[in-house]
Amino acid sequence: MKTPKPPIKIAIKDNNCCVKSPCPICGRIVDPDAGPQLFMADTWEPVCEECAEKHSPVIFNIWAKFQRRSSFARAFQDCRYDGDQYVHQPPEKP
């Protein structure tokens, strides 16, 4: 009888080293940004989005929601209250 492969566990970890490396599942190069990213649960190997979605859809969905919220937050930082409305006004480049 074949022993079943251990399940692939994927976790969201706060990335602070940004090392480009191959996804341990499919081998695709993953280049994670700083901040919460998808990793193998027991190591710091970054997992690509496709594998995370396939093997751990719940974790992937939480992460994807966070990504949308943080990009919304970034966009909102560039908004200024102008009279009675918010306008999008990115900071001027020095």
What are the residues binding Zn ion (CB under 5 A)? 23, 25-26, 28, 48, 51
Min CB(46)–Zn ion separation in Å: 9
The CB-of-41 to Zn ion minimum distance in angstroms stands at 15
Q: Output the smallest distance, CB 43 to Zn ion, in A.
A: 14
Q: Which CB, 27 or 90, lies closer to Zn ion? A: 27
Q: Give the CA count within 13 Å in the CB-facing half-sphere of 90.
A: 4
Nearer to Zn ion, 48 or 59 (CB): 48
**Which is closer to Zn ion, CB of 9 or CB of 28?**
28
Q: What b/e sequence results for 53-71 when a residue is b if at least 16 CB atoms lie within 10 Å of its CB, and e otherwise?
A: beebeebbeebeeeeeeee
Nearer to Zn ion among residue 36 and residue 54 (C-beta): 54
DSSP one-letter string for 2-59: PPPPPPP-EEEEEE-S---EE-TTT--EE-PPSEEEEEETTS--B--HHHHHHH-HHH
Least distance (Å) between residue 73 CB and Zn ion: 27
